[in-house]
Amino acid sequence: MDDLLRPDTLALHADAAVEPTPDIAPPIHVSTTFAADNDAGLVYARNDQPTRRRLEAVLGALDGGHAVTFASGQAAATAALLHLQPRRVAIAPGGYHGTHAAIDALAPFGVEKVALEADLGPGDVVWLETPKNPTCELQDIAAHVARARPAGARVVVDGTFATPVLQAPLALGADLVYHSMTKFLSGHSDALGGVLVARDPALADGLRATRTVTGGVPGALETWLVLRGVRTLGLRVRQQTATATRLAAFLEPRVARVWHPSLPSHPGHALAKRQMRGPGPILSIELATEAAARALPGTLRLFRDATSLGGVESLVEWRRKQDPHAPPALLRLAVGIEDPEDLERDLARGLDELGGR
């Protein structure tokens, strides 16, 4: 595929050579077993299968590397740690609690979690989540790469909040980029999956071997659903980002705090302009009290109270319900593709019901 094609075009055409077919919509392959000595080199679906090849061709092209898909984002993160076998993982506090749980689960095997700015050595892993859940704080990918590379450490970037549409970690020197496919890549709240995209094809081959051993492969239907969803990734993420930016400006004078990189008040505002192609589709707000934060989701009509993000529908969540370390009055807003004026009115009415708190 022509590497000069833009991401929106790659999302539609990067898999064209994987499985030449007259079908405009790609077929879904459900077979687990393939006849011996076939021209495609297929043997068993835990190792490889055609629908997965198509999806990995698209996701690899979008991130500028080599993609390996998994049954969930958690499976992908765990597989990265199992394959890299780091002595230490340098990571900032907070962010997605599942990543910390995966690192902590490997502590009995000698894996140590250390501060992000700790001294690094050969085999260490720097794990960056940027933007970080739920406050959208940013970490400077290029700066961490410049620190890690001379020490012989690898850099993994969780780019779930940004997607390949808004951020290119491999182009900034990262070794591996991770996404929960369940979120924006799928985009319709109907498919569970994760992906690792490696700059080095040998690293991707190693991750593929780890996947075969652990068995954490995505199912055929989930693979096909993500492939269908990723076709519209650029359209969705750009609209969601524009709406999130509008809502952040609307909410800032009305609540105690708004966390969104579009705002000069956000600590990552300047870095977002350098590192990203847009401030992103997720924002968080803090109300005056925990009671108000717990009550707001029940007053909203368009924002559904649910814990995920990245779908076409807008969601709101009192974050402490899932993450006990989240600020007590913080709500995460995952912006969908509804008309921004309707979402704005929904939030204004909800806040009015709470007395504007």
**Which tens digits make up the pLDDT trace of 246-266?**
999 999 999 999 999 999 999
Q: Mean pLDDT across the chain, nearest whole number? A: 96
Q: DSSP secondary-structure letter at 320?
A: G
Q: What is the pLDDT of residue 204?
A: 98
Q: What is the pLDDT of residue 2?
A: 58
Q: What percent of the chain has pLDDT over 70?
A: 99
- The ranges of the chain annotated as CATH 3.40.640.10 are 7-230
Mean pLDDT of 199-223: 97
Q: What is the dihedral sign for C-alpha 107, 119, 136, 159?
A: negative
Choice among 158, 175, 323, 346 that is catalytic: 158
Confidence at 20, pLDDT banded by 50, 70, 90 = confident
Q: DSSP secondary-structure letter at 292?
A: H
Mean pLDDT of 319-324: 92
CATH code, 233-353 = 3.90.1150.10
Phi first, then psi, for residue 325 (nearest 5°) are: -90, -5
**Residues with Cβ within 8 Å of residue 229, at least 6 apart in sequence:** 185, 186, 187, 188, 191
Query: Does pLDDT of 120 surpass 50?
Result: yes
Choice among 52, 54, 183, 199 that is catalytic: 183
Q: Which helix (DSSP H) or strand (DSSP E) does residue 195 occupy?
A: strand 194-198
- The ranges of the chain annotated as CATH 3.90.1150.10 are 233-353
pTM (predicted TM-score): 0.96
- For the stretch 146-175, pLDDT in tens is 999 999 999 999 999 999 999 999 999 999
Distance CA 230, CA 226 (A): 6
Whether 183 is catalytic: yes
Record the tokens describing residue 35, joined without a space.
């006849």
Distance CA 140, CA 63 (A): 18
Query: Does pLDDT of 1 surpass 60?
Result: no
- For the stretch 44-65, pLDDT in tens is 999 999 999 999 999 999 999 9
Whether 178 is catalytic: no
User: What is the length of the chain?
Assistant: 357
Mean pLDDT of 326-330: 96
Choice among 15, 54, 63, 96 that is catalytic: 96
Q: What percent of the chain has pLDDT over 90?
A: 96
Mean pLDDT of 16-29: 92
Q: What is the pLDDT of residue 17?
A: 92
Pairing of strands 125-129, 257-259: unpaired
CATH code, 7-230 = 3.40.640.10
